[in-house]
């Protein structure tokens, strides 16, 4: 133990104690499993020795790394990699009822997939794959499977018969005492994927007989319909009662739903041999952002998986890119992504928000002072204009369709036409009938009887239009920006009186004015008329019909004909 300094006990298992230690040579944190061998049965000693043998055979970025083992005070000590992000089970439990984004689910899943593929290639069965045995790095973005204490090395192609593993994850063939092979690990992998998508186990019961009955029936609650049919089908395929009908790991990798998240990792898909990659590389002349330039070359990574790396380290292909500029940022700055596809963005005075393809809100925030990570050697330091991305919590079972930001507050609309708001409640901008601040999206209850189709935020007011062409406004009323004929402020939605023949289609809010556009490209405008003529002559000539909208000024409402309809493209 002279190599290690014990810090604390982080776990106690059936075979011993798990210590968090510091390696004296370099200060790195490691895990030491202390397994007493003196009082062990023969089978327990074999299991402990088996874990060491298994760990020596495995070398993969998504598998906990093995360092060494030694005897200390009649105990077997196994030194291995420390994963500071905790277990995937803890991560799921902390979500409460806030479902994960599908892109995040697949980001985790394909890493487990690659790890299990490496395990099976070594002719090893894990036999206890579960969320408690899947660990996360400190950023909770990289997953690593561990705990191979009951793995079985298949010296031949024979099948294993021993019933092992956590009951909730055991396969139907194990329940029946049938032979165990790689397809039982596929069943457990399906249970893990289901748990990521539903935040609960596929099979649970009060006692073991009831649990076995549930597993043997193969019935489980469907996952949320916010997820794609392809994800639901993948779970069904892996949780097929017939082992022969469950897909192989390489078939899962080739599934279209897995290809994109696999390509977004720095590893290749499955067992692609280096010579095959190198053969195709001479025709590739691409830089790090898809521009002609640096030549791409192949390299070898830990675990025998290959990466494509340019002379400046090739980035994984993003699903989408979002840029920001202004407020001291003179050039467009790419914002960090969470392995997801962003379809729409909006920003207010302090917040930057986006909506993902799977209907979640993503926000970009400046990091807290002093929490920056140590940069890699040779990296260029960026002391300012850095942002971190995260998914907004409190969206359980809700699919967001669009987002709009005002000053210090945000409105979002669901796929069912429901408006939700959060942020600062000053000026009544949240529409909840009060001036309270809200940290999580909350439904605007006054509009629950309506199906909203579009919403827009000004600095301190909101307009929304329904599928029945009705318009509602709330918030600060200065200059008549709410279109209600007064300058009063309202903390709850008020219906705007518009002409009977005017079919409202879209609403647009400026800092202190508002516009409503009809299906016939007619426009109603209200609010401040202070700065409308301060623009260039070229702009005024190009949008001459807009001048008609503001002749009445102040809190009045004007109406004019937009001949070209080009306002739609100018949003």
What pLDDT does 367 receive?
A: 67
- Residue 166's pLDDT is 57
Which is higher by pLDDT, 564 or 368?
Answer: 368
Both 8 and 72 in a single domain?
yes
pLDDT of the residue at 340? 80
Q: Quickly state the pLDDT bin for 370 (edges 50, 70, 90).
A: very low
33 with 125, same domain: the answer is: no
Report H helices in 88-241: 88-94, 102-121, 172-175, 182-198, 208-217, 229-238
pLDDT of residue 195: 94
Q: Residue 184 and residue 365: Cα distance in Å, rounded?
A: 43
Task: Read off the pLDDT of each residue in 25-38 and give the average, rounded to a whole number.
Answer: 85
Q: What is the pLDDT of residue 386?
A: 76
> Residues 41, 77: one domain?
yes
> The domain that contains 229 carries what CATH number?
1.10.510.10
Convert the pLDDT of each residue in 96-136 to its tens digit. Answer: 888 999 999 999 999 999 999 988 888 777 778 889 889 99
Joined tokens for residue 411: 């409105």
The C-alpha atoms of residue 252 and residue 66 are separated, in whole angstroms, by: 28
Span 218-238, average pLDDT:
90
Spatial CA neighbour of 82 closest among 159, 22, 163: 22
The whole-number pLDDT of residue 51 equals 64
Q: What are phi and psi of 230, to 5 degrees?
A: -65, -40
Helix (H, G, I), strand (E, B) or coil at 514: strand
Determine the distance from the C-alpha atom of residue 291 to the mean position of all C-alpha atoms in its chain, rounded to a whole number. 28
Nearest CA to 464 among 493, 500, 437, 425?
493
Q: What amino acid positions are annotated as catalytic residues?
A: 128
Q: What is the model's pLDDT at position 399?
A: 83
Q: Is there a single domain that holds both residue 257 and residue 278?
A: no
Is 537 a member of any domain? yes
Q: Give the H/E segment covering residue 71.
A: strand 66-72
pLDDT tens digits for range 479-511:
999 999 999 999 999 999 999 889 999 999 999
Q: With 0.75 as the threshold, say if the pTM is over it.
A: no
Looking at the 3D structure of the chain, how many domains does it have? 4
**pLDDT tens figures, 44-80:** 666 666 667 777 778 888 998 888 888 887 788 888 8
Mean pLDDT of 75-99: 88
Same domain, 118 and 255: yes
Together in a domain, 174 and 75? no
Query: Angle formed by the axes of helices 102-121 and 256-263, to 10°?
Result: 90
Q: What letter does residue 223 receive in the DSSP assignment?
A: P
Residue where a domain terminates, one of 81, 113, 141: 81
Q: What is the rounded distance in angstroms from the CA atom of residue 74 to the CA atom of residue 194?
A: 42
Between 470 and 273, residue with greater pLDDT: 470
Q: Are residues 171 and 291 in the same domain?
A: no
Tell whether 23 and 108 lie within a shared domain.
no
CATH code where residue 55 lies: 3.30.200.20
Using pLDDT thresholds of 50, 70 and 90, give the confidence band for residue 314.
Answer: very low
pLDDT digits (tens, 9 = 90+) for 317-332: 567 788 888 877 888 8
Co-location of 27 and 74 in the same domain: yes
Residues 16 and 94 in one domain: no
Range with lowest mean pLDDT among 69-73, 75-79, 82-86, 560-564 = 560-564
* Confidence at residue 531, expressed as pLDDT on a 0 to 100 scale: 65
Residue 210 is predicted with a pLDDT of 85
Alpha carbon distances (Å) from 238 to 182, 184, 188, 192, 245: 12, 10, 8, 10, 8
Q: Residue 64's domain spans which residues?
A: 4-81
On the question of pLDDT at 179 being above 60, the answer is: yes
Query: Of 81, 110, 133, which one is at a domain's C-terminal end?
Result: 81
Task: Check whether residue 92 and residue 198 sit in a common domain.
Answer: yes
298 against 119, higher pLDDT: 119
Residue with tokens 């997801």: 340
């Amino acid at each position: 133990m002279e190599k290690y300094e014990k810090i604390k006990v982080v776990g106690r298992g059936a075979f011993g104690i798990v210590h968090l230690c510091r390696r004296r040579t370099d200060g790195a944190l490691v895990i030491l499993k202390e397994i007493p061998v003196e009082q062990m049965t023969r089978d327990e000693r074999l299991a402990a020795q088996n874990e060491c043998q298994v760990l020596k055979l495995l070398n993969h970025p998504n598998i906990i790394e093995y360092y060494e083992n030694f005897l200390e005070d009649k105990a077997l000590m196994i030194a291995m990699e420390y994963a500071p992000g905790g277990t995937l089970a803890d991560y799921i439990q902390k979500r409460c009822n806030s479902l994960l984004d599908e892109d995040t689910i697949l980001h985790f899943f394909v890493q487990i997939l690659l790890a299990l593929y490496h395990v099976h290639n070594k002719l090893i069965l894990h036999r206890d794959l579960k969320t408690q045995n899947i660990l996360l790095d400190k950023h909770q973005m990289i997953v690593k499977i561990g705990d191979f204490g009951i793995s079985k090395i298949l010296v031949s192609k024979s099948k294993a018969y021993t019933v092992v593993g956590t009951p909730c994850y055991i396969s139907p063939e194990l329940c029946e005492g049938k032979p165990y092979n790689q397809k039982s690990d596929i069943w457990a992998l399906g249970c893990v994927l289901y748990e990521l998508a539903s935040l609960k186990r596929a099979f649970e019961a009060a006692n073991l007989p009831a649990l076995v009955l549930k597993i043997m029936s193969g019935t489980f609650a469907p996952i949320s319909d916010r997820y794609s049919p392809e994800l639901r089908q993948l779970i069904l395929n892996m949780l097929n009662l017939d082992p022969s009908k469950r897909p192989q790991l390489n078939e899962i990798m080739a599934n279209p739903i897995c290809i994109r998240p696999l390509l977004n990792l720095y590893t290749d898909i499955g067992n692609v041999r280096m010579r095959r990659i190198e053969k195709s590389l001479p025709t590739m002349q691409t830089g790090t952002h898809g521009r002609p330039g640096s030549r791409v070359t192949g390299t070898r990574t830990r675990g025998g998986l290959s990466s494509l790396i340019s002379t400046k380290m090739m980035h994984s292909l993003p699903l989408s890119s979002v840029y920001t500029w202004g407020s001291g940022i003179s050039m467009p700055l790419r914002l960090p992504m969470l392995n997801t596809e962003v379809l729409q963005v909006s920003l207010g005075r302090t917040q930057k928000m986006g909506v993902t393809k799977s209907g979640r809100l993503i926000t970009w925030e400046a990091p807290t002072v002093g929490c920056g990570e140590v940069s890699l050697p040779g990296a260029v330091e960026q002391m300012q204009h850095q942002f971190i991305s995260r998914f907004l919590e409190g969206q359980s079972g809700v699919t967001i369709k669009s987002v709009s930001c005002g000053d210090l507050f945000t409105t979002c609309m669901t796929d069912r036409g429901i408006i939700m708001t959060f942020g600062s409640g000053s000026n009544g901008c949240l529409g909840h009938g009060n001036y309270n601040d809200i940290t999580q999206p909350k439904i605007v209850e006054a509009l629950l009887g309506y199906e909203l189709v579009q919403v827009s935020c000004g600095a301190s007011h909101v307009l929304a239009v329904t599928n029945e062409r009705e318009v509602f406004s709330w918030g600060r009323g200065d200059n008549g920006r709410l279109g209600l004929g007064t300058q009063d402020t309202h903390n709850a939605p008020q219906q705007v009186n518009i002409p009977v023949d005017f079919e409202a289609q879209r609403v647009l809010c400026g800092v202190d004015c508002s516009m409503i556009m009809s299906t016939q490209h007619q426009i109603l405008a209200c609010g401040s008329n202070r700065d409308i003529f301060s623009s260039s002559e070229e702009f005024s000539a190009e949008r001459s019909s807009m001048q008609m909208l503001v002749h009445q000024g102040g809190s009045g409402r004007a109406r004019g004909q937009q001949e070209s309809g080009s306002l739609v493209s100018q949003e």
